[in-house]
Amino acid sequence: YQHAGGQMRLRATTISRRWVAGPGIVQ
């Protein structure tokens, strides 16, 4: 992640968390 740094990383963390909560929701 060398684009937005914090923003990109924050988004990745959110997506990862959501995926763990429900991989079916994130498609």
Q: What is the pLDDT of residues 2-24, one digit of tens each?
A: 555 666 667 777 776 666 656 65
Q: How many domains does the chain have?
A: 1
Whole-number pLDDT of residue 1: 46
Q: Give, in order, the Cα–Cα distances in Å from 13 to each of 17, 19, 25.
A: 6, 10, 16
Query: What's the whole-model pTM score?
Result: 0.27
Q: How far apart are CA 10 and CA 4, in angstroms?
A: 10
Q: What is the spatial distance between Cα 6 and Cα 9, in angstroms, rounded to a whole number? A: 5
Per-residue model confidence (pLDDT) at position 14: 75
